[in-house]
Amino acid sequence: MDVKKITVLGAGLMGHGICQVAAQAGYEVNLRDVKQKFLDRGMEMIRRSLSRFQNKGVLTEQQVHEILDRIHPMLDLKEAVAEADLVIEAIPEIIELKKETFREVDNYAPAHAIIASNTSSISITELGSATNRSEKVCGMHFFNPPQLMKLVEVIKGAKTSHETIQTVMEAAKKMGKETVLVKKDVPGFIVNRILIPALNEAVALYWEGVADRDDIDKAIKLGLNWPMGPLMLLDYIGADTVLSITEVLSQDINVKFQAHTGLKQMVRARLLGRKTGKGFYDWTKK
């Protein structure tokens, strides 16, 4: 199947970036959210990002205008998915909310449309079971920020067809992404299965007083050649997101993935990182 029209559900941290990447690749994109203020904020972030690309000489002013013309923000879900070939869901990591959204999309989208989830931890098979098109449901996991990160994990659910996987991989490649195939629908997929326990251990080192924040981040940057330290990365991702993935890994795979008390405390205190202004670092000054 040839993808021409894409709908992105959710204009937040990941959704607006996925929308921008798709529009930059030449796709017509409907960007849908539940409130006008979320759409406005998402569009503002897209404009800001495109402006940075223009200032760096990556895009011309004309190209920026053309990209923005291909993005259609809207509130009505039925209208948003009515002509979509590919729907990419990027709403909060709440399973019942995602399943309800998938049920609605299944009712309104064309029969040929693929529904992909940008989830970082929730079962693709379970999301597919909320629809009557499980063979056309898969995972399409972008990384933050989607405008810069090259990787997309494509995840096969229990009933996902080979054609669906191929179509989504081709669409991702058209967006300039490198793809990896996750052949089994397991929590955390590839990257988060390895990354999240590492972030959890960094929290443990900090909260147990083994080393200071800056030394933990410096050690991993220089010792493992990470572009940023684990505590700063955790602030970028959000402590709440890391905690929710940790809980899924712990429940569905092994108790060894259990979240450290310090991580739970940070979420209770709303020290989530960049999104709330403070986490391990103070983002209000940056």
Task: Give me the residues paired with residue 86 across strands.
Answer: 6, 114
Rounded alpha-carbon distances, angstroms, from residue 127 to 148, 157, 176, 199, 238: 28, 9, 27, 27, 23
Q: Is 153 a catalytic residue?
A: yes
Please give the DSSP secondary-structure letter assigned to residue 259.
Answer: P
Q: Name the catalytic one among 153, 200, 244, 260.
A: 153
Q: Is the dihedral of CA 226, 228, 232, 234 positive or negative?
A: negative
Which of 257, 211, 253, 262 lies closest to 234, judged by CA?
262
Helix axes 191-207, 261-268, angle to 10 degrees: 90
Q: Is the dihedral of CA 240, 245, 249, 251 positive or negative?
A: positive
H-run or E-run covering 87: strand 86-89
CB atoms within 10 A of CB 79: 14
- One DSSP character per residue, 21-54 reads HHHHTT-EEEEE-SSHHHHHHHHHHHHHHHHHHH
Q: Name the catalytic one among 141, 200, 244, 260.
A: 141
Helix axes 230-237, 239-252, angle to 10 degrees: 100
Q: Is 141 a catalytic residue?
A: yes
Q: Is the dihedral of CA 282, 277, 88, 241 positive or negative?
A: positive
Question: Could you tell me the two tokens for 217?
Answer: 């981040």
Q: Name the catalytic one among 120, 123, 200, 244.
A: 120
Helix axes 36-55, 15-24, angle to 10 degrees: 50
Question: Could you tell me the two tokens for 71?
Answer: 């993005």
Residues with catalytic roles:
120, 141, 153, 192
